[in-house]
């Protein structure tokens, strides 16, 4: 990622490492800051909502593909009512 340092959720060791890196490498901090400012207009509540909707839709579609076709039809009929 060009505008951030990424770590797994709950990985405090990596988070600490990133914070220390940015403290020690001000050039990297400046590059990440500049890149973030160039892409900030892409980070909106609307964009986040759209992304969340797509992720949930994909998850539901995948889950429904594994369910019996007859049950899918019954669920679809209930949803329409």
- Write down the mean pLDDT value for the chain: 84
- pLDDT value at 10 more than 90: yes
pTM (predicted TM-score): 0.53
Q: In a 3-state reduction of DSSP, which class is residue 2?
A: coil
Where are the domains positioned within the chain?
12-42, 45-80
- pLDDT value at 81 more than 70: no
pLDDT at 33: 94
pLDDT at 72: 60
pLDDT at 16: 97
Report the C-alpha gap between 66 and 3 in whole angstroms.
38
Q: What is the pLDDT of residues 41-67, one digit of tens each?
A: 888 999 889 989 999 988 888 877 776
């Amino acid at each position: 990622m060009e505008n951030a340092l990424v770590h797994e959720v709950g990985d405090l060791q990596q988070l600490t490492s990133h914070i220390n890196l940015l403290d020690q490498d001000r050039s990297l901090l400046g590059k990440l800051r500049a890149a973030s400012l160039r892409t900030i207009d892409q980070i909106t509540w609307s964009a986040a909502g759209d992304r969340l909707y797509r992720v949930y839709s994909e998850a539901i579609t995948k889950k429904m593909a594994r369910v019996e076709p007859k049950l899918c039809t019954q669920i679809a009929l209930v949803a329409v009512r």
